[in-house]
Amino acid sequence: MKKIVLFVFGLSTQFISGQESIQEEELILENEQQVVQGKNMITLNALALSSGTFSLQYERLVSKKTSVGVTLNFMSERGIPFSGAIESLVSDRTTVAQLKAVSVSNFSFTPEARFYLGKEGFKGFYISPFVRFSNFSMNLPVNYYYEGEDQHIMIDGKTSSISAGVGFGAQWKLSDNFYLDWMIIGPHYGGSTGTLSGQKSLNQEEQDAIIESLRDLDIPVVSYDYEVDSNGAKVKLNGPWAGIRAVVGVGYRF
């Protein structure tokens, strides 16, 4: 009887020891997998490409469910993106025509933090406060009517803006290292400043016509002042600035 008890006790000890060994191996494997996945991610915004903007984000986990990152956007000179959406906000047809003739280039720098609401970072729904610093180069024709003909004066220059906002979105794992990022909406609001100017010899009638044209411009959100004299026209932007950030991108984790 004593031998049987000792035998059963020995089997039990070996079984428990084996279970502990399996659990240790699983824990080591899980830790190794986390190391392989890494704490860094690079994401290319495919949605931005549709508007002619190259947008690349770097994101790094700083805790289990929190990350910090930065996004760089660059758009070479082209027409205003999503001009159709802008047209729906503007009632004046003359303003619409002039906005469609605008050419603009842009560079922006957007630091942010992400707080994931699921069990781990890089996965599930998130809230992302951010700040955006933007610089724009713009060319704008100001149309006016003089002596029975349509005329225009080209004004150009640079503007800059600083705005803050909050993004709401979700991220899903596609494969071992690839993820899908969808920032559903990211409204932001701030201020802008800049000057656009153009030189052209103008008589008093032309100056009055340009002033009337600038007065009738109905640009949404942005505030501006203007000056017109015999040497040309100048438009100063100094007021509110707003926008909406959106992302549909593919990320690589490393």
The pLDDT score that the predictor gives to residue 217 is 75
In this structure, the answer to whether residues 3 and 50 fall within a common structural domain is: no
In this structure, the answer to whether residues 87 and 2 fall within a common structural domain is: no
The pLDDT score that the predictor gives to residue 88 is 60
In this structure, the answer to whether residues 102 and 180 fall within a common structural domain is: yes
The pLDDT score that the predictor gives to residue 6 is 46
The pLDDT score that the predictor gives to residue 239 is 87
Query: For the whole model, what pTM was predicted?
Result: 0.74
The pLDDT score that the predictor gives to residue 113 is 98
In this structure, the answer to whether residues 33 and 43 fall within a common structural domain is: no
In angstroms, the Cα distances linking 119 to 58, 65, 122, 125, 126 are 21, 7, 10, 10, 11
Residue 66: give its domain's CATH number: 2.40.160
The pLDDT score that the predictor gives to residue 53 is 94
Q: Rounded distance, CA 43 to CA 64, Å?
A: 19
Quote the tokens at residue 14: 């070996």
The total number of residues shown for the chain amounts to 254
Distance from the first to the final alpha carbon of the chain: 59
In this structure, the answer to whether residues 74 and 26 fall within a common structural domain is: no
- Tokens 């656009």, residue located: 196
In this structure, the answer to whether residues 4 and 58 fall within a common structural domain is: no
In this structure, the answer to whether residues 13 and 84 fall within a common structural domain is: no
In this structure, the answer to whether residues 18 and 83 fall within a common structural domain is: no
The pLDDT score that the predictor gives to residue 9 is 47
Residue numbers of the chain with a pLDDT score lower than 70: 1-36, 80-100, 218-221
The pLDDT score that the predictor gives to residue 199 is 95
Identify the domain containing residue 190 by its residue range: 39-253
Count up the domains in the chain and report the number: 2
